[in-house]
Structure 1
Amino acid sequence: MTLILTRSTIRELLADQVEEVEAAVARAHRDLTLGAAVLPAPPALRLPGSPDTFLAMAAASAPDGLAVVKLLADLPGNRDRGLPVQRSAVLATDTDTGACRALLDGAELTRVRTAAATAVATRALARADAATLGLVGTGPLARAHVRALLPGRPYQQVVLWGRTQPAAHDLAAWISADLGVPAKVLDGPRAVTEACDVLCTLTPSREPLVRGAWLTPGQHINAVGAPPRPDHRELDTEAMRRCRIVVDAYDTARTKSGEVLIPLAEGALREDDFRTELGDVLAGTAPGRTADTDLTLFDSVGVGLQDLAVTRLLTDLAERRGLGTHVDLGA
């Protein structure tokens, strides 16, 4: 039987699982470094004459007993239709029997696992005394990030900016009221960057919003929002050049991340500058932060292994709680 999980069911299942999701994503990255998981770079499928891209994000894990493919559709024209630019669904197969174990909507899963990866990277790379969290971008991804980053961490305030001022003020009010951390809206990306210890960029920008000249030694930056396209980025070349870079997966970053590919083409970065993966830092096989004055950066493109880790968690939770719909695809 195949378990089908809708977006609303996934949201219900993950509502109280912040720490568990972070732990699952961290373990998946360590498994990759230790050779217990497989993560190929996703192929990009493009129809002739179309800006649309379809990515098949695959991964397999021996510890989790799953092989997973998330089909991600990145459709810029959907913005004019009032539809999400990115849509996805996840198919999970049992590695022992080959049976289709689950089919899941990808939207909520993707937001939560992306925020969890940022939380894992921030815990590994940011200074222990980081007190101010900065957000550039105020959409659903920003809300997922503050849910993942604030609990159990010593942030004293959140500073943020978004292109839509009402949305920015709504987010600040929600953070202050619901999460108990003072939050305020600043007047631009530069003000946020210069005011924070940990910065998360969470926009689908094509052109850089954050400049390297604004960065301060000791900061940690999470570059998260740009879609997996080699011509999109939120940070300029100088920002990338100044930072110690950690990627979620080298093969994926090497083909999909404008953050590293544009500086690489310009000669400002070498491939060795972004070979360190998050799993390497977690497993202790490569350094992350080496001094309080380091500028560290997590380049988050998003990978199928993160989807797999959260899919495993979700299917186990759904079975225990009796949620979801079971369908016999072979009937």
Structure 2
Amino acid sequence: MTLILTRSVIRSLLAEAGALAEVEQAVARAHRDLALGRAVLPAPPAMRQPDGEGAYLAMAAASAPDGLATVKLLADLPANRERGLPVQRSAVLAADAETGACVALLDGAELTRIRTAAATAVATGALARADARTLGVLGTGPLARAHVQALLPGRAYEHVLVWGRTPDNAQSLAHWITAELGVPAKVFTDPRSVTEHADVLCTLTPSRDPLVHGDWLTPGQHINAVGAPPRADHRELDTAAVLRCRIVVDAYETALAKSGEVLIPLAEGALREDAFRTELGAVLTGRAPGRTTDEELTLFNSVGVGLQDLAVARLLIDRAGERGLGLTVDLAS
């Protein structure tokens, strides 16, 4: 039997008390499993549409501890913007790792948003200074809200600084942060001001061209580069910013396949592959150091990986089963 979890069911499961903390724990465990050889994560192949800008990515993973093999088909279709549709759409297929039976089919939107923010929270915990008090957010969409929700509980942040291309959206996000999460939030008119004043900076925009420049950075900052789509020509940080940082990636092979933050400096000859070989799982297991000094600039280059999808799919499948939620069908009938 196959469990089908719609977006509304997934949203309800993730809204439960303690769910976001469990997601963060699951994502951290998945990265440790990868570092310890208990999970498999190949680089995702990109299938380009021959007659347009669209692309499809098959994000696969397998985990022995979670007993699953999964693949998320991610559609990245810029033309959808003009249609009034989401640019990115996805669904996750989960199979039993032992029998190959199709265990579940899950809508990918909420799952992706929450696991992405959870990975950022895990990386920030491992890499940011212990005395970081100011969180900067570039971008105002659903991913920004998910990040603020994921990051604020982990540290005693005193302020959140917000910038967005649409001032009204930035004001709305800042008001929500202050009213709902209880942390003062302030809107800035440009990304430079947010960057210069943030201890922890999250870039959460689908930008093609850099929003953050190297000469804006100050010693001791931690940066999470998250928002750029999986395209080699898109990035939120310029080459100078990347070169100033010690880089940690979620997965080396995936970053090499689809991260503009590393591929563009690599093509320019400004960066060698060794500079971004350190994976988050290696830091979490102690195989690689986290932050080494208070003055060091650290960068988590988040491209999003299928193993994060698998970890959260396992959590959602188990929670839905316990609560009798979702639709069960027999695909073989």
Task: Specify the alignment match of 1:246 in structure 2.
Answer: 248
Task: Specify the alignment match of 1:258 in structure 2.
Answer: 260
2:32 to 10, 30, 33: 30
1:212-231 to 2 correspondence within 5 Å? Answer: 212-231=214-233
Task: Specify the alignment match of 1:278 in structure 2.
Answer: 280
CA shift digits 1:41-65 (9 cap, x unpaired):
0000012132100000000000000
Contact 2:125 2:154 in 1 (8 A): no
- SS in structure 2 of the partner of residue 150 of structure 1: helix
The amino acid of 1:171's aligned partner reads L
1:61 to 63, 80, 83: 63
Deviation (angstroms), 1:321: 1.1
Task: Specify the alignment match of 1:268 in structure 2.
Answer: 270
Question: What's the RMSD between the two structures over aligned residues?
Answer: 0.6
**In the aligned structure 1, how far is the partner of 2:224 from the partner of 2:53?**
27
- SS in structure 1 of the partner of residue 75 of structure 2: strand
Task: Specify the alignment match of 2:297 in structure 1.
Answer: 295
- SS in structure 1 of the partner of residue 162 of structure 2: strand
Structure 1: 4+ residue segments shifted above 6 A: none
Task: Specify the alignment match of 2:150 in structure 1.
Answer: 148
Please state if 1:198 is matched with 2:200: yes
Which 5+ residue runs of structure 2 have no aligned equivalent?
Answer: none
**In the aligned structure 1, how far is the partner of 2:50 from the partner of 2:87?**
19
Task: Specify the alignment match of 2:10 in structure 1.
Answer: 10
Deviation (angstroms), 1:14: 0.8
The amino acid of 1:286's aligned partner reads A
1:31-180 to 2 correspondence within 5 Å? Answer: 31-180=33-182
Deviation (angstroms), 1:152: 3.7
Which 5+ residue runs of structure 1 have no aligned equivalent?
Answer: none
**In the aligned structure 1, how far is the partner of 2:81 from the partner of 2:71?**
25
The amino acid of 2:4's aligned partner reads I
**In the aligned structure 2, how far is the partner of 1:104 from the partner of 1:186?**
37
Contact 2:67 2:98 in 1 (8 A): yes
- SS in structure 1 of the partner of residue 153 of structure 2: coil
The amino acid of 1:175's aligned partner reads I
CA shift digits 1:111-140 (9 cap, x unpaired):
000000000000000001000000000000
Contact 2:24 2:119 in 1 (8 A): yes
- SS in structure 2 of the partner of residue 45 of structure 1: strand
- SS in structure 2 of the partner of residue 178 of structure 1: helix
The amino acid of 2:269's aligned partner reads G
- SS in structure 1 of the partner of residue 179 of structure 2: helix
Percent of aligned pairs with the same amino acid:
77
- SS in structure 2 of the partner of residue 20 of structure 1: helix
CA shift digits 1:125-181 (9 cap, x unpaired):
000100000000000000010110011421001001000111100000000000000
**In the aligned structure 2, how far is the partner of 1:49 from the partner of 1:324?**
37
**In the aligned structure 2, how far is the partner of 1:48 from the partner of 1:153?**
47
The amino acid of 1:83's aligned partner reads L
Task: Specify the alignment match of 1:315 in structure 2.
Answer: 317
**In the aligned structure 1, how far is the partner of 2:135 from the partner of 2:297?**
15
Deviation (angstroms), 1:268: 1.1
The amino acid of 2:69's aligned partner reads A
Deviation (angstroms), 1:217: 0.5
The amino acid of 1:9's aligned partner reads V
The amino acid of 1:3's aligned partner reads L
Deviation (angstroms), 1:287: 1.3
The amino acid of 2:194's aligned partner reads V
Aligned residues: 331
Output the TM-score relative to the length of structure 2: 0.99
Deviation (angstroms), 1:248: 0.4
The amino acid of 2:9's aligned partner reads T
**In the aligned structure 2, how far is the partner of 1:166 from the partner of 1:13?**
30
**In the aligned structure 1, how far is the partner of 2:318 from the partner of 2:211?**
40
